[in-house]
A and B are shown apart, each in its own frame.
Chain A
């Protein structure tokens, strides 16, 4: 991978679609897929000059919340409770199944692409064979109601680099770590500051763990929104925490005062760089953190903050660029690390 300066992250191109929640990338062809609110799958040829989004197929009938790329096939999950396999080139639906009893919130392919996991409002984590669609096992350990008796949700799922672990994070700030082979719940982490509820001053909960990622060294990053100070919504610091999950200990808090929820985290091991995308009351947000920092107050500030075109819901790092590919409100966003303002570059041309 070409060396790059994270502080030069610059939005170079956007391609308009309806609001997209999920994405996956075919590194072979450079095609980037996104899906979301209109239940359709869109693609963008990221190797083209000023690419335009193409609406490709629609096999779901509600929001699409998760996408995975598996050698020519796009695996999608949605609020219609279904998982659908689609041949990417033709758009032909290959397989479908009703996977959960409730909205499916996230999907992750385990490294090796042989299995994937889904999380849903039935408060289950399920493991599936990516080739056959066969159900392998379910993991049941999340609370089915919030402490106040309301509905909760599992928003995020992550797999460890060796595929031996799954982490699932829910609305009330709990993370379950699962052993994939045995199906056992290894531990339950409490990250309560990602969940805000107060019976008197905020009688409606908000927040939840929206993003999870295992680092190669085994640490776990948990992302979302810090304590909320306003009644309306995402009015709290954008935040992720690094945990030693085996010790049940938070090691580092990384946040910014920019009021936004971090909907997705991407870690670049070679740079020790965590990239978080999201949005909220202060507007859309892209933050880049050096996680080797050791600040005196224990809170790591981003080394660079960028303002995306709109709220980012999912992102992928393309080392070949190096580039960041993101989806969210308004469609696709293509970022590079050139530091070149595309408007100025266009004027030069």
Chain B
């Protein structure tokens, strides 16, 4: 194996995996866009690894592969940050939803109790009456 071939194989493998996951619907929305970009970069750098050397020289980096590593780490950090922001948003929604579920469940129960009282011991709509009926029954 030569270096260009190894790079091309690795790049294609990463890009292929991402594209497969996208097609299967395991990635979606803005995540999908981010990973599509990552797949394109992996494929591009795999097919034309000399791009890194050229870019390194242009930016005055003595050892061009380091440039790739630094950029990759930076990209991973940004991605992780975005993931955590998204997680916090999801956590907030989950907590709101949990509270809402409890509130709605309470109202359902109250209505069911009121209905039970209404059909059983005559017309009583007060919550307190519903409760005492439940205790008695």
Q: Do A and B bind each other?
A: no
Chain A interface (Cβ within 8 Å of chain B)? none
Residues on B facing A (Cβ under 8 Å):
none
